[in-house]
Amino acid sequence: MRKINNINNNQEILTTADGVPLKASLNRALRRERNISLLLVTPLFVFVLIAFLFPIADMLFLSVDNKIVVEKLPRTVPLLADWDETGTVLPDEQIYKALVQDINAGTVDKTILRLGRRLNFEQGGMSSLFRRSVRKLKRLKEPESYKAATIRIHRKWGDLATWRLIKRLSGKFTPTYFYSAVDGGVDKAGHFVRNPENQRIYLKLFVRTILLSLLITLFTIILGYPISYLLATLPTKLSNLLMILVLLPFWTSLLVRTTSWITLLQREGVINDLLVWIGVVDNAHRLTMIHNQIGTIVAMTHILLPFMVLPLFSVMKTIPPNYMRAARSMGATQFRAFLRIYLPNTVPGIGAGCILVFILSIGYYITPSLVGGTSGTFISNLIAYHVQGSLNWGLGAALGTMLLMFVLALYVLYDKVVGLDNIKLG
């Protein structure tokens, strides 16, 4: 039918039995099909939106969200706009009165101390300032001077730094979490300054995370390539057995695998015992192979190996053995044939494996925290600390955002250099 329709383009219009032009009828049928298929995808789309995109967007938003200050100090913040934070004069009586009213209002629903915790992330001591002040402020009944009374309750209310902090954070959004995430803060005038050298930590850990992840990815290629080759070329019976050996650790709990590496690598562990027994290492100088970078690299390479082997294997499986034979028959040496024929054919597998391993490893935190000691911890360990320990979700979110942006940038770069169609997962 379609053929006829195409050929008879400028001849009489073909119609269906009920007189509708064939083309329109066909279009309608196609549209219905498309709508049905869209309908089928909708649940998945909604699911991804609700379970994946919204939470991530919400997390990203936390890194700049600062509405708590305006919310808890609705009377004080507008008045502070006219106060000169660069000068040396404290805010006037009116602002102190507004502050007392705001804090007393916040004491009723018991949420004002939340503000103290928020400010404490920027300046240590704010938490106790609020906790100590609230009860005393509640008892304050129409004093002669709110300013004098408030400062009497806690001397920090008479400190310019306290007011500068409140004014600086009076916006609905704040860059301060990102400042902290790149080891910085603000000076008295509100400009960004970097922390002293010996207090920088986040950027250092970012760099370390990336370098170690690259190293781990490299090791998984070196170890995974020959394994995958064996898996792809051995007779099915043998390769199935090997495959189980590769997958077995994959099915074992992450914690179990990590702990078994501790048993193997520790000072009184299996490997050290063996080395001492052979006589390679002196009993007093046992090797330190765990609670440092070596521990992290070894354990993570092992844990992430299947993510390299599986895509490599699936790609190698599809390369016909004839290719290599053809190259050999045309006079290439074994090595040259591998380099020119086999290796280029496996690039999509390497690419997929690298992306999987690298992205998984920069987000790892359980393994580095157990076996990494101090030199083998990753940035995710600090993100976990801020989410679970200090409850500074803003900073945790800022660090997470930076990590996410880095991965996305890398993804784009990968697309430019290697090309995304050159990835094959199976």
Partner 1 sequence: MYKIIKQTLLAMIVVSFTAGIALAKTKLVIVSWGGAYTTSQQKAYHDPYMKLNPNIQIINDDSAAAGPAKLRAMSKAGNVTWDLLDAVASDSIALCDEGLVEEVDHDAILAPAPDGTPASADFGDLIVSPCFVPTIVYATTFGYRKDAFATPPTTIADVFDLKKFPGGRTLEKKPIGNFEWALIADGVDPDKVYEVLATPEGVDRAFKKLDTIKDSVIWWSTGSEPVKNLVAGQVVIGSAYNGRLFNAIAAEKQPLAMMWDWQYFDLDGWVIPKGSPHLKEIKKYLRFAADTQRLADQAKYISYGPARKSSAPLVGKHAELGVDMKPHMPTNPINAKHRLVKNYEFWADHEVEYTEKFLAWVVK
Subset of 226-265 contacting partner 1 (CB under 8 A): none
Q: Please say whether the beta carbons of 351 and 423 come within 8 A.
A: yes
Q: Please say whether the beta carbons of 186 and 407 come within 8 A.
A: no
Contacts of residue 205, defined as CB under 8 A and 6 or more positions apart, other chains included, come to 377, 378, 379, 381, 382
Using CB under 8 A as the binding rule, whether residue 107 contacts partner 1 is answered as: no
| Residue 209 to residue 84: CA distance in whole angstroms | 43
Helical (H) or strand (E) element with 185: strand 184-186
Among residues 75, 117, 257, 317, which is the contact residue for partner 1, using CB under 8 A? 117
Minimal distance in Å, beta carbon 259 to partner 1? 9
| Cβ-based nearer residue to partner 1, 138 or 204 | 204
Angle at which helices 202-233 and 343-362 cross, to 10°: 140
Among residues 3, 110, 191, 237, which is the contact residue for partner 1, using CB under 8 A? 110
Q: Which residues on neighbouring strands pair with residue 272, listed in sequence order?
A: none
CB atoms within 10 A of CB 131: 13
Phi then psi for 133, rounded to 5 degrees? -80, -35
| Residue 72 to residue 174: CA distance in whole angstroms | 16
The encoded tokens of residue 344 equal 């280029």
Using CB under 8 A as the binding rule, whether residue 199 contacts partner 1 is answered as: yes
Using CB under 8 A as the binding rule, whether residue 113 contacts partner 1 is answered as: yes
Minimal distance in Å, beta carbon 388 to partner 1? 4
- How many residues sit close enough to partner 1 to count as binding (CB under 8 A)? 41
Among residues 77, 100, 103, 205, which is the contact residue for partner 1, using CB under 8 A? 205
Using CB under 8 A as the binding rule, whether residue 282 contacts partner 1 is answered as: no
Using CB under 8 A as the binding rule, whether residue 109 contacts partner 1 is answered as: yes
Among residues 220, 266, 346, 367, which is the contact residue for partner 1, using CB under 8 A? 266
Using CB under 8 A as the binding rule, whether residue 164 contacts partner 1 is answered as: no
| Residue 80 to residue 393: CA distance in whole angstroms | 27
Taking each continuous run of H as one helix and of E as one strand, the counts in the chain are 22, 2
Using CB under 8 A as the binding rule, whether residue 301 contacts partner 1 is answered as: no
Subset of 381-400 contacting partner 1 (CB under 8 A): 382, 385, 387-393
Subset of 307-346 contacting partner 1 (CB under 8 A): none
Q: Which residues bind partner 1 (CB under 8 A)?
A: 109-111, 113-114, 116-117, 120-121, 124-128, 131, 198-201, 204-205, 266-269, 291, 369-370, 373-375, 377, 382, 385, 387-393
